[in-house]
């Protein structure tokens, strides 16, 4: 991957993961939980959101290894579900807010690609590149975060519906989820992410 494109991608990635976490924080705040606000996390300041592995090490490893896509995550915003006004569905709403925000960004910029005349992008190819990377990275983030393994959002979405009899499995996933994710990332999950991303990219942009 070209170094300039890599830097460009990293900036978009950082912006996207911050927006993802802000969505969690603001939904939690709207439900009555001020934890993220008091922690200073309802901000666009990237320093507040950087996760050493997910925001720095993983993207660098993917770049060095020649991965066709870059992705990662920010430091999760702190949430106290006991503060939620909606105790039944509050945690689900907070969990799903991140992926929905990424999907919304992907759809918005994808529709710009679809409906803006091609002559505009011929005159300003950098805009096409930027919009394409925003769509791609946000689709990858949404798909990746919907994997039902902690600490990803997909697990917390599914957690609401997991029967009590699977408690041991839940405890196991809490303990080893991050290691399972690292294994999946480096042993095959990326190819599936790329395939699914390409499918949805085409559906949204018409390309």
pLDDT for residue 69 is more than 80? no
- Packing angle of the helix pair 90-115, 125-145 (nearest 10 deg): 150
> In the predicted model, what is the mean pLDDT of residues 42-64?
89
pLDDT for residue 141 is more than 80? yes
User: Which residues participate in catalysis according to the annotation?
Assistant: 21
- Tens digit of pLDDT for each residue in 15-31? 999 999 999 999 999 99
Q: Which range has the top average pLDDT, 59-63, 86-90, 159-163?
A: 86-90
| Residue 1: per-residue pLDDT | 61
| Residue 87: per-residue pLDDT | 93
At 103, list the tokens: 């999907």
E runs forming strands in the chain: none
pLDDT interval class at 32 (50, 70, 90): very high
More confident call, 167 vs 8 = 8
For residue 161, give the 3-state DSSP assignment.
coil
Please count the other Cβ atoms lying within 10 Å of the Cβ belonging to residue 136.
Answer: 25
Average pLDDT, the chain: 90
| Residue 54: per-residue pLDDT | 87
> In the predicted model, what is the mean pLDDT of residues 81-105?
96
pLDDT for residue 6 is more than 90? no
State percent of the chain over pLDDT 90. 60
More confident call, 1 vs 120 = 120
pLDDT for residue 183 is more than 90? no
State percent of the chain over pLDDT 70. 98
pLDDT interval class at 59 (50, 70, 90): confident
- How far are the Cα atoms of 17, 83, 163, 197, 200 from residue 8, in angstroms, in the given order? 15, 39, 44, 19, 22
């Amino acid at each position: 991957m070209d170094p300039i494109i890599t830097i460009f991608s990293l900036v978009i990635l950082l912006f996207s993961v911050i927006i993802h976490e802000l969505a969690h924080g603001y939904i939690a705040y709207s439900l009555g939980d001020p934890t993220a606000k008091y922690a200073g996390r309802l901000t666009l300041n990237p320093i507040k959101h950087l996760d050493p592995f997910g925001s720095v090490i993983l993207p660098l490893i993917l770049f060095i290894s020649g991965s066709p896509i870059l992705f990662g995550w920010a430091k999760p915003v702190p949430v106290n579900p006991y503060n939620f006004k909606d105790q039944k569905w509050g945690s689900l709403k907070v969990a799903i807010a991140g992926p929905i925000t990424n999907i919304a960004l992907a759809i918005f910029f994808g529709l710009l690609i679809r409906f803006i005349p091609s002559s505009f992008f011929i005159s300003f190819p950098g805009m096409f590149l930027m919009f394409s990377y925003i769509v791609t990275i946000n689709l990858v983030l949404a798909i990746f975060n919907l994997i039902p393994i902690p600490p990803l959002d997909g697990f917390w979405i599914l957690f609401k519906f997991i029967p009590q009899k699977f408690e041991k499995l839940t405890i196991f996933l809490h303990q080893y989820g991050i290691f399972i994710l690292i294994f999946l990332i480096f042993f095959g999950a990326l190819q599936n992410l790329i395939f699914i991303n390409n499918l949805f990219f085409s559906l949204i942009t018409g390309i």
